[in-house]
Amino acid sequence: MRWLRFLIALAVAAVLLLGNPTSASGDARPGCKSVVKVDKDRTISIEIVCDQSGEAGAAFTSGRRVCMFGKSEVPCKSDQGTWYSPRQCYISRVDPPPDFSYPAWEGRTTGSLYYCRLSGLDVGTPMVIWIGSSTPPPDPEELARRAVNQMQLKPITIGIVPNDGPDSVGLVGMPIWLWADSPSDQTMGPISRSASEGGYTVTATAEVERVRWSMGDGGVKTCTGPGTPYKLKYGITESPTCGYRFEKQGEFTVAARSDWLVRWSGIGETGTFRIYLTQNTQVVIGELNVLTVSEGS
């Protein structure tokens, strides 16, 4: 009889761990904790109490910009001005501008005149050039960020077993599966967009390099790619791509941070910057105890 009780407890725990392997949506949802009870007739029952929420956040970081003078890299800004790739020089507005009889206007009455200084040279009278726009060329990194805004990037939809449902409880030491549920261009990439201003265009491409899973118990798991969705046929096995094991019981907030790398190019420059998008969910981890029930009790 005691072995029967043990098998029942083990079966119930396995069902709670593996049952309903659906993903967390990220919406506010009740979180769960379980209480195991043994009734007078020796029936084992599990009571689930839920109270949970999820939230998403984003952070941006500056990156690297590259400007080229022929095949050599030069600073994109210097005390000589801002690098202007079409003329391969640093430009700064002529202020105040000369009247329209000045030769550089070439008969025009619109646009602006700029000093054009060659890289590393700041001697003598600088060249004066005409640029059709009345404002300086736009900052290409700013255009790249506008292009990224068009992408409407999102944090991943968390896939996890056990999930954050009221009937799903994991076990200490048992394999946990982690994945991006239904990955798309907006949640994993790659995705490309362009932004233009004043006749200038910058194109940006964004892609998730890795997902950093903070498990809530102090542990961190970093995975490349979207991970492998769990299916019941896999049973109690390790995830082949992204998994974890809890070493203690409790209710934990799991945060999945998508680390995006954005590469951009335009107006004679190239560069990169990073975007971090985070989604949270809750999991409950219990500890399997062997219940020994005396037949005479």
Q: What is the mean pLDDT of residues 126-135?
A: 81
Q: What is the mean pLDDT of residues 152-180?
A: 85
Based on the fold, state whether residues 10 and 89 are members of the same structural domain: no
**pLDDT confidence tier of residue 138, bands split at 50, 70 and 90:** confident
Q: Is residue 186 a part of any domain in this protein?
A: yes
Q: Is residue 296 a part of any domain in this protein?
A: no
Q: What is the per-residue DSSP string for 239-267?
A: -SSSEEE-SS-EEEEEEEEEEEEEEEEET
Query: Could you list the residue range(s) of the whole structural domain that residue 127 is in?
Result: 67-137
Based on the fold, state whether residues 216 and 82 are members of the same structural domain: no
Q: Is residue 260 a part of any domain in this protein?
A: yes
Based on the fold, state whether residues 223 and 128 are members of the same structural domain: no
Residues 170 and 76: their CA atoms lie apart, in Å, by 53
Q: What is the per-residue DSSP string for 105-166?
A: GTT--SSEEEEEE-TT---SSPEEEEESSSSPPPPHHHHHHHHHHHH---PPEEEEES-SST
Q: What is the mean pLDDT of residues 61-68?
A: 72
Q: Which residue, 76, 108, 137, sits at the end of a domain?
A: 137
Q: Is residue 280 a part of any domain in this protein?
A: yes
pLDDT at 145 over 60: yes
Based on the fold, state whether residues 109 and 252 are members of the same structural domain: no
**pLDDT confidence tier of residue 63, bands split at 50, 70 and 90:** low
Based on the fold, state whether residues 160 and 234 are members of the same structural domain: yes
DSSP-H helix ranges across the chain: 2-18, 140-151
Q: Is residue 160 a part of any domain in this protein?
A: yes
Whether the CB-CB separation of 278 and 57 falls below 8 Å is answered with yes
Based on the fold, state whether residues 56 and 187 are members of the same structural domain: yes
Residue type, 273: F
Q: pTM to 2 decimals?
A: 0.67
Length of the chain as a residue count: 297
pLDDT at 21 over 70: no
Q: Which residue, 137, 172, 193, sits at the end of a domain?
A: 137
Based on the fold, state whether residues 92 and 158 are members of the same structural domain: no
**pLDDT confidence tier of residue 71, bands split at 50, 70 and 90:** confident
pLDDT digits (tens, 9 = 90+) for 236-246: 899 999 999 99
CA atoms within 13 A on the CB side of 188: 15
Q: Which of 103-107, 132-136, 273-277 has the lowest average pLDDT?
A: 132-136
Nearest alpha carbon to residue 241 among 180, 155, 283? 180
Give the torsion sign (CA, 97, 102, 106, 110).
positive
Candidate ranges 4-8, 17-21, 271-275; pick with highest mean pLDDT: 271-275
Q: What is the mean pLDDT of residues 239-255?
A: 93
Q: Which of 28-42, 60-74, 134-148, 206-220 has the lowest average pLDDT?
A: 28-42
Based on the fold, state whether residues 200 and 274 are members of the same structural domain: yes
pLDDT at 49 over 50: no
Q: Is residue 52 a part of any domain in this protein?
A: yes
Q: Which residue, 99, 121, 137, sits at the end of a domain?
A: 137
Q: What is the mean pLDDT of residues 94-112?
A: 89
Work out the mean pLDDT of the chain and round it to a whole number: 77
% of the chain surpassing 90 pLDDT: 39
Per-residue pLDDT at 160 = 92
Residues whose CB falls within 8 Å of the CB of residue 192, separated by 6 or more in sequence, listed in order: 203, 204, 205, 206
How many independent structural domains does the chain possess? Answer: 2
Q: Which residue has the higher pLDDT, 153 or 20?
A: 153
Q: Is residue 169 a part of any domain in this protein?
A: yes
pLDDT digits (tens, 9 = 90+) for 180-233: 999 999 999 999 999 998 888 999 999 999 999 999 999 999 999 999 999 989
Based on the fold, state whether residues 44 and 173 are members of the same structural domain: yes
**pLDDT confidence tier of residue 61, bands split at 50, 70 and 90:** low
Based on the fold, state whether residues 176 and 41 are members of the same structural domain: yes
Q: Is residue 272 a part of any domain in this protein?
A: yes
Based on the fold, state whether residues 112 and 218 are members of the same structural domain: no
Q: Which of 81-95, 101-115, 172-186, 270-284 has the lowest average pLDDT?
A: 81-95
pLDDT at 253 over 80: yes
Based on the fold, state whether residues 162 and 133 are members of the same structural domain: no
